[in-house]
A = this chain, B = another copy of it.
Amino acid sequence: MRKNLTLGLFGFGCVGQGLYHVLNETHGIKATIKKICIKNPEKSRLLPQEYFTLAKEDILNDPEIDVVVELIDDANAAYQIVRQALQNGKHVVTANKKMLAENLEEIFQLQQQFDRSVLYEGAVCGSIPILRNLEEYYDNDLISGIEGIFNGSTNYILTKVFEERKNYTDALRQAQELGFAESDPSLDVKGFDPKFKLAIAITHAFGVFVKPENILNIGINTISDLDLKFAREKGYGIKLIARAVKTDNQVFGLVAPQFIDAHHPLASVRNEFNAVTVQGAFSEKQLFIGKGAGSYPTGSAVLSDISALTYDYRYEYKKLHQAEDIQYSTRASIESFVRFPHGTKISIQDFEEFQSGYAANGQHYMLGRVSLEKLAEWSRWENVGIILSPEALFVNKPVKSEMLEYTAA
């Protein structure tokens, strides 16, 4: 028997308004917005004044409200709201990936403690139902890896750069004008946004909690015209790929740009679209493609969560109960294409397995397997560009290879 739900919203921006419209036009879902907590009373709103409040207690302490829908920007404030809501016996729906990634273990425990549900499908790849599928459908499958395009803004930029031969700055500006990029574009461009999403997905795919600071994120901000030229010559595209792989009870995660060839399943994922590939032992490779952001796609994901609450749905974190021995690790290496100016302290000896090198016009290019530790260090340096090679795979427990000859031209 479906319940009637009374909702209290925090935030009424793009997603909140999308939710309001989706809820209004959808049949068969029994949920009503009672109150909306906003920060700015001056903004003109599309609903009557009595819907709005500036006091969060008007929602958190209202016993009629069953579900708190948290849609604000500020991750810390959002976490306080989620915690208070659970303590007060309310279920929560949120799309706040940063807040979730930073507090997922605590949120898991709060759900157990207060016997309430927190759902957040909208937080990871917008409209793509990846968490629900990882939880429910791939329950029995031995998932060996997930990878995908978890950020629409950067994918839009990269698509424009390649297809329209735009320069980087123009493409970024255009993305922001169209509203794809977050208010802080560095969250997208430096790969933080997809990293938050990856951290959440890892828990549902592999049953481990990982703090975002333990996942290396390399952005698309250091891509140079030379990299684009190289990619075009080889017939490659560049995509910002979030990935997590399980090998021998260890889970590795990484967000980094990667050269990909035209036959790669993610090559055809263009513009603001997101995509997730799930690699299962038995289901083999499956690809989900959909809109990752925007008021309607995210509003629709949020409403799917609300709808699930009318059936008492909660994430069971099933993998967590199956996965006693599995640990998250950063001890891996991966094949990377590293570009750096002459004088940078990077040498062949830094590579676990050096493949080839080249130098011209004061720039060095080296291709080979590099530990995540080194990549993390180099990614903080000025003027170093890191792009994974097309066939890059994580290699566990890096072993130094024999040195190969480095040809400088």
Contacts and interface: CB of A to CB of B under 8 A. Distances in A.
Given A140-B28, A288-B287, A300 B318 contact: no
Given A287-B288, A296-B284, A142 B25 contact: yes
Interface in A274-332: 280-291, 296-297, 299-301, 303-304, 306-308, 318, 321-322
A375 interface: no
A247 interface: no
A288 B290 CA distance: 9
A26 B137 contact: no
Nearest to A28: B322
A290 B275 CA distance: 13
Nearest to A18: B282
A128 interface: yes
A22 B287 contact: no
Contact of A283 (B132, B139, B265, B291): B291
A303 B29 CA distance: 30
Contacts of A287: 287-290
A51 B132 CA distance: 36
B289 A26 contact: no
Contact of A139 (B128, B138, B267, B304): B304
Interface string A104-146: 0000000000000000010000011100110011111110000
Contacts of A284: 127, 290-291, 296-297
A137 B132 contact: yes
Given A140-B22, A140-B304, A280-B300, A128 B289 contact: no
Interface residues of A, number: 48
Stoichiometry, copies per complex = 2
A121 B306 CA distance: 24
Nearest to A307: B140
Contacts of A303: 140-141, 282
A239 to B, nearest CB: 14
A287 B25 CA distance: 23
Interface in A10-29: 18, 22, 25-29
Contacts of A282: 18, 22, 26, 127, 296-297, 299-300, 303
A303 B129 CA distance: 20
A347 B389 CA distance: 57
A214 interface: no
A349 interface: no
A188 to B, nearest CB: 20
A76 interface: no
Identify the interface centre among A25, A133, A306, A322: most chain B CB within 10 Å of its CB: A133
Contact of A288 (B18, B26, B142, B288): B288
A155 to B, nearest CB: 15
Nearest to A294: B284
A22 B141 CA distance: 8
B322 A27 contact: yes
A29 B138 CA distance: 12
Given A28-B322, A282-B299, A283-B127, A136 B291 contact: no
A268 interface: yes
Given A22-B282, A284-B296, A289 B291 contact: no
A129 B137 contact: yes
Give 5 nearest A-B pairs by CB, closest first. Answer: A282-B300, A286-B290, A28-B322, A127-B283, A287-B289
9 contacts: A18-B282, A22-B140, A22-B281, A26-B140, A26-B282, A127-B286, A133-B133, A140-B303, A286-B289
